[in-house]
Structure 1
Amino acid sequence: MTTTATGATATRTAVVSFDQVSKVYGAVRAVDGLTLDLHPGETVALLGPNGAGKSSTLDLLLGLRTADSGTVSLFGTTPQEAIKAGRVGAMLQSGGLMEDVTVEELVRLACDLHPRPHPVGDVLARAGIASIAGRMVNKLSGGQEQRVRFALATAGANDLIVLDEPTTGMDVTARQAFWATMREQAEQGRTVLFATHYLEEADAIADRVLVLHKGRLLADGTAAEIKAKAGARRISFELEGAINEDALRALPFLASLDVNGRRVRIQSHNADATVHAVYGLGLYPRELEVAGLGLEQAFVAITEAEEARNS
C-alpha cells in the first residue's frame, strides 16, 4: 500500500521489488540487504560512488547474477521470466553490438526477436539513428553506438527500461533528445531506471533518486528531498583585503570551507547563524549568495557523512 500526496491510500503493484537482497564477492559485500520497490511510470536515478553496488544491483535486476540471499522480482515473477516475456529492455554501458552488420540490420534483428516488437522504422526514428541506418556498426562514433544500444533496448513494448550510463559519449543535443524520448516513455506508463555519473541529469530528469553506498540504500526520495537530507546550504561571497581562514573555519555550523582568491564558499548547517557570525567578525561580504545544495553537493555530503560514521 502507498499513500498519495492527498493522504488517500492506494494500491500500486511493484514493477521491481528487492526484498533484503545481498550479493557477496569474496570479502566484498556488493549489495547489502537492499530493499526497495519501483512502480509504473516512475523515472528513477540510481546514484553512488564507484564501488557503491550500482552495477551489481542492475545485474541482479536483469537476472545476470543470482542473489546470495533475499528476493528480486519483476512484475511478480523472476527477472528471467519477465525478460523472456518481453517486459524489460536494457541498455548496458558497453558491449552487446554486432559489428559486421548495418545499424538497420541489427535493429531489425532485435525487433524480430522481441515478443512485442515495434516497427523498425519507428525504433530507428525514436533513437535518432534513421540517418545512419545503412552504416556499418563498426564505423560508428561512441555517441552513435549509445543511440544504437538505446534502439535495441526499446525495440519492443517493454514495461521497464533499464539504462546504465546511457548518455556517455553523446553530445548535448543528443542527450537532450534522448531524455525527451525517455520522458515520453514514462508518460506512457513505463518505468525508467537509469544509473548515471551526470548528476545534473538525475536532478533534471528523475522523479525519484536512489543513493547507494557500499551496497546499502542511503537515501530514497525526490531530488529536492535528497538535497534537504544533506542538511546544509551554500553560502558564497567575496572579501576585500587579507582573508583570515582560521577565523572563517571557526564560524558556527560550518560544514565545509573553500577559499579561492577573494571568493569564499561555505557549506553551513545553519546559514542564517553563519552569515550573522561573518558580520560579527567585522567582515563585509560582497555579492553574498545563499542557496540550497545542488544534487551533486548533497550526494557528496551524504556519502562523506556515511564514510565518517563508519571510520
Structure 2
Amino acid sequence: MRDSQNIKETLARLENVSKCYGKLRALDSLSLSVNAGEMLALLGPNGAGKTTAVSLLLNLIEADSGRVSLFDQNPKELSARQRIGVMLQSAELPETLRVSELIALTQSYYQKKRAVAEICEMAGVADLLPRFYGKLSGGQQRRVQFALAICAKVDILFLDEPTVGLDIEAREAMWQCLRKLVAEGCAIVLTTHYLEEAEALADRVMVIAHGSVIAEGSVESIRSRVSLRRIRCVSQIEIEKIKQWPGIESASHDGQYLMIQTQDAELVTRRLLNEDETLQQLEIKRAGLAEAFLELTREQVK
C-alpha cells in the first residue's frame, strides 16, 4: 500500500447523505470521501446502497438530505463531469456504431483527450476499432466500455463490476492498467462482488449495509477486525471427525490439503498436532477479505 503522504486532496464527498425510494431508505446519513491517487472499493450485499452512493456522485439522482460534492462543485456542473470517467455494469451504446466512432464520440465531451493509440493499448481494443459494437461478444463489449471510460485523462474513474465477462488474460490486463492509473494520481471508485479483486487492488475498503458504513479502512485493517483464521495442512484425520470439534467454522479438502476455518486457531492446531503424528505442511493465515466481509455482514443481511 502506498504511503499516506502520497494521498492528495479529497476529490469527491458525500456528507451525511440520505436517500429514500418510497418507504425504502437506501442511504442513511452516509458519509464517503474519494481521494486522489487511491482506489476505493465499495463493498456490500445486494441492496446495501453502493449503487445509490455512486449514482449521487454521477448526478444520476439527487439526495434527499446531506451534501454531495464533486471537486468541491455540484455534480451537475459540466466542468466537474468532464473530469470523471464512468464504466457502469450495464451500458446501452449504439450497436450500429463502430468502436472507433464510439471512442471519437465519447472523446468529444472532454478537453483532456487521450490519443487513440494510447486508449487501444490500455484497453486492448486495437483489433476492435473497425467493428460494429453490436457485433461484439460480451467480453469484447466490456473492453470497449472500459476504453470509453479512459478515453480522456480524468481525475476520478468510476467502475461498476468492470471485469464481469472478461477472461483471465483481459482481467489481468485491466488490473495492470488500473494500478498504473492510480500510480499516476487518478482516483478510482470500484464496486465489485469479486472480493479477491478488491483485495488485490484497493487501497481503502468501505463496507456498506442497509445504507450505512459498517467498516472502513485498508484491506489489512478490515481483515484484522475478524478473528477467523484459516488452517491448511496435510492430515490423516477424517474430515467428518474434525467438523465435530469445538470452534470449527468449516472443514474441506483442496486436493491433498485439509482446509479449516476457525475462530480458535491455537486450540485447533494443538488438537491436530496431538491427534496426528504425521501432520505435515501446517500453515495458519488470517482470514481473507472474503471471509472478513461475510462475517461483518452476516448479521446485517438477516
Same fold (TM over 0.5): yes
Partner SS, residue 158 of structure 1: coil
Deviation of 1:239 (Å) = 5.3
Q: 2:252 & 2:9 partners in 1: Cα distance? A: 50
SS in 1 for 2:198: helix
- Cross-structure match for 2:188: 192
The verdict on how the C-alpha distance between 1:158 and 1:82 changes in structure 2, with shifts beyond 3 A counting, is farther
In structure 1, what is the equivalent of residue 288 of structure 2? 294
Native 8 Å contact 1:211 1:217 kept in 2: yes
* Matched residue, 2:144: 148
**Cα deviations by residue, 1:109-166 (Å, 9 ceiling, x for unpaired):** 1112213222333323322111110001111111111111111111212100000011
**Which stretch has the larger CA shift, 74-83 or 13-22?**
74-83
Judge conservation of contact 1:107–1:124 (CA < 8 Å) in 2: no
**Residue number among 238, 245, 258 corresponding to 2:251 in the alignment:** 258
2:221 corresponds in structure 1 to 225
SS at 2:77's partner residue? helix
Structure 1 position 227, deviation (Å): 1.0
Does the Cα contact within 8 Å between 1:233 and 1:293 map onto a contact in 2? yes
8 Å CA contact 1:210, 1:217 repeated in 2: yes
Within the candidate set 137, 144, 166, 2:162 is matched to 166
1:36 paired to 2:32: yes
For the residues of structure 2 that align with 1:41 and 1:229, how far apart are their CA atoms? Answer: 25
Residue matched to 1:53: 49
Superposed displacement of residue 48, structure 1: 1.4
> Is 1:272 the equivalent of 2:266?
yes
Residue 190 to residue 135, structure 1, CA distance change in 2 (3 Å):
same
Listed as ranges, the gaps of 5+ residues in structure 2 are none
Partner of 1:180: 176
> What's the % identity of the aligned pairs?
37
Deviation at 1:244, TM superposition (A): 6.3
What's the CA shift for 1:233? Answer: 0.9
One-letter amino acid of the structure 1 residue matched with residue 262 of structure 2: S
Structure 1 residues not aligned, in runs of 5+: none
1:177-210 CA distance string (max 9 Å, x none): 1111111211111101111121111111111111
Q: Does structure 1 residue 102 correspond to structure 2 residue 98?
A: yes
After superposition, residues 72-151 of structure 1 pair within 5 angstroms as: 72-81=68-77, 84-151=80-147
CA change 1:171–1:41 in 2 (3 A) is same
**Distance of 1:151 and 1:190 partners within structure 2:** 16
Greater mean deviation of Cα atoms: 236-245 or 144-153? 236-245
**CA distance in structure 2 between the aligned counterparts of 1:148 and 1:11, rounded to whole angstroms:** 30
Q: 1:93 to 1:244 in 2, by over 3 A?
A: closer
The alignment's C-alpha RMSD in Å is: 2.7
Describe the SS at the equivalent of 1:79. Answer: coil
Of stretches 205-214 and 157-166 in structure 1, the one that deviates more from structure 2 is 205-214
Q: Which amino acid aligns with 2:288?
A: G
How many pairs are equivalent?
Answer: 298
Q: Structure 1 residue 99: deviation in Å? A: 0.9
Contact kept in structure 2, 1:75 and 1:82, CA below 8 Å? no
